[in-house]
Structure 1
Amino acid sequence: MKPLPYLQRADGGAQLIVDGAPFLMLGGEVHNSSSSSLAYMERVWERMTSLHCNTALTPVSWELIEPVEGEFDFRLVDGLLEGARRHGMRLVPLWFGAFKNGRSTYAPEWVKTNPARFIHAQSRPGHDVLPLSSFCEETVQADARAFAALMRHLREVDSERRTVVMMQVENEVGLMRAQRDYSAPAERVFSQPVPSSLIGSLQENAGALHPGLAHARLNSGPNAMWADIFGSDASEAFMSWGFGRFVGRVAEAGRAEYPLPHFANAWLVQYEGQPPGEYPNGGPVSRMMDIWRAAAPAIELLAPDIYIDDFACVCADYARNGNPLFIPEARRDHTAPACAFYAIGEHSALGFSPFGIESIGGALEEVIAGPVADASLGIQTDPSGSLLAQSYRLLSGMAPVLAPHFNTNTMRGILQTPAPEAGLDLGGFRLQIRFPKALAPGQPPAGGLIITLGPGDYLIAGFGFSVQFHADPHTPGEVDFLDITEGDYADGQWIPGRRLNGDEYAVQLGAAPCVRRARVYQHHPQ
């Protein structure tokens, strides 16, 4: 039997290995309610197939698999597995357990209606709020039991087929509209010194901590309290530890049954200086990643859900200190294709996944993807989805060629900015990237990736830019092409097309995703 999917670590990054080979997730996350109906999913599978997706990210909710405590119903899970297999896709289930988007709406009725047992968070002393407390032992045990049952079932029905390749644990956890949790179990933890395991982990990684924790006073002594170490960030650090431990314990229970890669996703800080509570307080935002990694060692990566404009900055913030980049949610608008190319090329992303994938090309149901829902995420849906479909088709064919260049210095990503051109050094030459069309509202930015296959040998893929090659400033001599070839890839095999010369003697990628092979040489004057 082939090994289970796993993350193969190398050079500070990782690759997802499925059936013994690298697997690039060209994904789509369905709307929150879509996977609750197998009949509804039939139309979703078809839409995803037309977009050349190879991976579906689908919610699996606690309320539907354990409607009565201790009684599990996995018919919906089995139907999702069957649908994915029938359409040639892999599956990443999203565990919507006690926490989803800073709320607890996916907890079962028997949890919601028993606040004496399943304690709610408090936004101030004595003031209960609807979300559950991440510090409640009964809640974490019940959630972990349900998740372990799900993973046990997946082991029994999918370990040979390996349809499921990763698991997301909870969704965008954190506490909204509160400085911190003031419930009784939370107060008991907050009144104690900061756990020595957290201090030790941060001290061990002091040289690589995120700049957001650079101010932490890690030598405050063995009885240091949260404010002693974290100052004004004490409440968020405390909540990050609480949610990290909750999610980590759920993941530990699941991995004990079926050790697939597990990850947690983050609702991001939307602007500099935004206070915790306007975004879920305690979630794995970038400046709290080091606390999360100490709290939840069973979580193998922390993943950003990127809806803000500075896509490149967020990628760089998460692709650090050994955290592999995976983007489980991104805008499904005109920016998605370029962002997919860039994340894969620049940061060796494990995968890319626009949210509400079935709404690309037109919503299946207005109630699911109408203007209110889209406006709340800042989304403008791509009218046709053709650019994403073409991009995914090209990347899928290239995937075996990309794999050896992951986490190396031989591959770079391209993402258009307002500047008319950009430069990068790759393979011993200086590459000048030019964007013939300026960025304009509602128009796709240019995007792509460039690989050096060997001395003077380049693969250029993407759309909307041109590439000129120049000599290193310290090495005199003119640079010219040996040849330029357009073509395509199918299952990693290069299919050459025209040899470009004469009037076409340039590397120019038009509006549709395409690929070029170019060989260059440097003429050294005698």
Structure 2
Amino acid sequence: MIRLYSLFSVLFLAISAVAQSSINLPHLQKQGSTSQLIVSGKPFLMLGGELGNSSASDMEYMKPIWPKLQQMHVNTVLAPIYWELLEPQEGKFDFTLVDELVKDARQHQIKLVLLWFGSWKNSMSCYVPAWVKTDTKRFPRVQTKAGKAVEILTPFGKNSLDADIKAFSALMRHIRETDERQQTVIMIQVENEIGMLPEARDHSALANTAFDQPVPKSLIQHLQTNKAALAPAVRSAWQTNGAKTSGNWEAVFGKSLSTDEIFIAWHLAQYANRVTEAGKGIYPIPMFVNAALNRPNVKPGDYPSGGPLPHIIDIWKVGAPTLDFLSPDFYNPDFNYWNDLYSRPDNPLFIPEIRFEPANAARVFYAIGHYDAMGFSPFSIESTDKPAEGPIAKSYHVLTQLSPTILAHQGKGVMNGMLFDKKMAIDTVHLGGYTFICKHDYTLGWSPKAKEDEWPTTGGLIIQTGPNDFTIAGSGIVITCLSDQPQTPNAGILQLDEGHYVDGKWKPGRRLNGDQDHQGRHIRIPVGDYGIQKLTLYRF
């Protein structure tokens, strides 16, 4: 009886440990109006960098990169996992690169977001194993209208989907077995920049058969239930054709490139969802898909058609409900425009990839301050020769110190950001009954460079931490304050200190007054400086 009791005790403890482990896995959790990534039971702000596509395929090549990343204050690396190297022979998996990547990340106190380069990478199927590439009968390709094969696996190939699921499942099982306790891997990107090229949809026999099938009832129901909230492109295609509730894709959405894109988006989303379901069934950490953004007046197929883009986001949300969110990759202008479209109640903002350039040092403050972004990640982060001196390193140094404060206030309506260049040099922020007139530092006119045709991109964020207390951080900003109370319309600087955090504790430096705050008239962090200032206001 005692032995049986002991056995039950051991089983109970084992089951409890598994349950506790599952509860503490990385996951998303709502706070106010946003979602945060929770790692080891605490909110985590990803100050990230994505490796160049081939860097993680050679651990010797990676050795000098890890110290670089530390010098840049990167706390999260986005690293590819290559199907062709994971499963070089069908059914035989090699986790050597995965294990080395995880080991090195742990040694350098860096978390990992793994990018599954599976069926598709930038639309193409260039990372599938040789045994998939060379067997086009078993693993069919996309075809153009003219019948020409493209080096893209068709999403209608059952064998392709099954093989991808098998490989991805093996990866997730290995991560669970080797990393569940340490949680070095905190998130997964499923595929990479999915989309259809060089035409709006696949025209293979398999695709054409699917195109003639009825539009799925789940999508029709979503269209009916969410008429007012649909993305304009989807709503227009559906309603212009009579808002039909049954029929094949052309019957419901009309004959157009838009219909072709909606159709292929659904099937790409379904494919990604099946892969995600399989992976989460083994190890349910957050998973997402990224998008190669389109440009104005460019037709589907000239950009990767059917990817998780804002104008067809409804298709992806219904077609791939297991994904936690969809994310933009930035290689074009209009930073605010695209972030506005991706920041939705059902879609927290994460920027997994953005061109590595100096302006990112300002954009990261704005993404976190204005959009409550859970993370930011320039591409080919290792390509700098001066890691500690780069602008993004200086911003990340500031944001590393501020992360606990940022995470405590995200989603509560007490934080905002600013982003400036010469064309957009002024913005207004309202917080705590005060109006902050925020401007580019060069609007003061003191710098000789203020007369140049272009100004560097600058930015920052403001967090209200008390009734009259604010924390301001960034670079190249100048701020004046007004009270929103009619009886005391003026706001004065009661106290302004620069400083930094050490082990989470604020260490004030200079008390800023006189010339440093223009005799109490403004708060300023000059171009080229990256800092934190604590502000207390009063009304009069």
- The TM-score normalised by the length of structure 1 is 0.92
Give the aligned partner of residue 162 of structure 2. Answer: 141
Mapped to 2, the partners of 1:501 and 1:63 lie a distance apart of: 61
Q: Is the contact between residue 387 and residue 512 of structure 1 (CA under 8 Å) also seen in structure 2?
A: no
Mapped to 2, the partners of 1:67 and 1:274 lie a distance apart of: 38
Q: Quick check: 452-461 or 203-212, which moved more? A: 203-212
Deviation of 1:435 after TM superposition, in Å, equals 1.3
Q: Does 1:405 align with 2:406?
A: no
| Residue identity opposite 1:408 in structure 2 | K
Give the aligned partner of residue 348 of structure 2. Answer: 324
Mapped to 2, the partners of 1:208 and 1:13 lie a distance apart of: 19
Secondary structure of 1:8's counterpart equals: strand
Larger Rg: 2
Instruction: Structure 1: give runs of 5+ residues left out of the alignment.
Output: 363-382
Change (3 A) 1:6 1:491: farther
Secondary structure of 1:181's counterpart equals: coil
Mapped to 1, the partners of 2:302 and 2:61 lie a distance apart of: 33
Match of 1:337 among 348, 357, 361: 361
| Residue identity opposite 1:245 in structure 2 | Q
Deviation of 1:225 after TM superposition, in Å, equals 2.6
Give the aligned partner of residue 109 of structure 2. Answer: 88
Secondary structure of 2:114's counterpart equals: strand
Give the aligned partner of residue 299 of structure 2. Answer: 275
Q: Quick check: 41-50 or 154-163, which moved more? A: 41-50
Change (3 A) 1:307 1:499: same
Q: Does 1:395 align with 2:399?
A: yes
Match of 2:418 among 414, 417, 433: 414
| Residue identity opposite 1:279 in structure 2 | Y
Change (3 A) 1:490 1:175: same
Change (3 A) 1:495 1:229: farther
Match of 2:259 among 230, 234, 240: 234
Q: Is the contact between residue 448 and residue 463 of structure 1 (CA under 8 Å) also seen in structure 2?
A: yes
Percent identical: 43
Mapped to 1, the partners of 2:316 and 2:150 lie a distance apart of: 24
Match of 1:508 among 508, 524, 530: 524
Deviation of 1:355 after TM superposition, in Å, equals 0.1
Q: Is the contact between residue 156 and residue 207 of structure 2 (CA under 8 Å) also seen in structure 1?
A: yes
The total of aligned residue pairs comes to 502
Mapped to 2, the partners of 1:441 and 1:492 lie a distance apart of: 41
Give the aligned partner of residue 326 of structure 2. Answer: 302
- The TM-score normalised by the length of structure 2 is 0.90
Mapped to 2, the partners of 1:149 and 1:111 lie a distance apart of: 17
| Residue identity opposite 1:160 in structure 2 | R
Q: Does 1:257 align with 2:287?
A: no
Q: Quick check: 149-158 or 488-497, which moved more? A: 488-497
| Residue identity opposite 2:472 in structure 1 | I
Deviation of 1:474 after TM superposition, in Å, equals 4.4
Q: Is the contact between residue 30 and residue 356 of structure 1 (CA under 8 Å) also seen in structure 2?
A: yes
Deviation of 1:399 after TM superposition, in Å, equals 0.5
Give the aligned partner of residue 451 of structure 1. Answer: 463
| Residue identity opposite 2:265 in structure 1 | S
Q: Deviations over 1:387-441 (max 9, x none)?
A: 2111101101110111121122100011104133222211111111121325968
Q: Quick check: 153-162 or 179-188, which moved more? A: 179-188
Match of 2:271 among 246, 262, 273: 246
Deviation of 1:522 after TM superposition, in Å, equals 1.0
Q: Deviations over 1:128-172 (max 9, x none)?
A: 212110111111111011001100000000000000000000000
Mapped to 1, the partners of 2:355 and 2:502 lie a distance apart of: 28
Mapped to 2, the partners of 1:185 and 1:24 lie a distance apart of: 43
Secondary structure of 1:399's counterpart equals: helix
Change (3 A) 1:442 1:141: farther
Change (3 A) 1:205 1:12: farther
Give the aligned partner of residue 179 of structure 2. Answer: 158
Deviation of 1:283 after TM superposition, in Å, equals 0.7
Q: Is the contact between residue 496 and residue 535 of structure 2 (CA under 8 Å) also seen in structure 1?
A: yes
Instruction: Structure 2: give runs of 5+ residues left out of the alignment.
Output: 1-19, 443-449
Mapped to 1, the partners of 2:456 and 2:147 lie a distance apart of: 50
Mapped to 1, the partners of 2:414 and 2:235 lie a distance apart of: 32
Q: Is the contact between residue 464 and residue 471 of structure 2 (CA under 8 Å) also seen in structure 1?
A: yes
Q: Is the contact between residue 214 and residue 248 of structure 2 (CA under 8 Å) also seen in structure 1?
A: yes
| Residue identity opposite 1:517 in structure 2 | K
| Residue identity opposite 2:524 in structure 1 | Q
Secondary structure of 1:454's counterpart equals: coil
Q: Is the contact between residue 101 and residue 171 of structure 1 (CA under 8 Å) also seen in structure 2?
A: yes
Give the aligned partner of residue 539 of structure 2. Answer: 522
Match of 1:183 among 175, 191, 204: 204
Change (3 A) 1:353 1:457: same
Deviation of 1:476 after TM superposition, in Å, equals 4.5
Deviation of 1:473 after TM superposition, in Å, equals 7.2
Q: Is the contact between residue 334 and residue 443 of structure 1 (CA under 8 Å) also seen in structure 2?
A: no
Match of 2:147 among 126, 149, 152: 126
Mapped to 2, the partners of 1:148 and 1:319 lie a distance apart of: 30
Secondary structure of 2:537's counterpart equals: strand
Q: Is the contact between residue 121 and residue 132 of structure 1 (CA under 8 Å) also seen in structure 2?
A: yes
Q: Quick check: 505-514 or 46-55, which moved more? A: 505-514
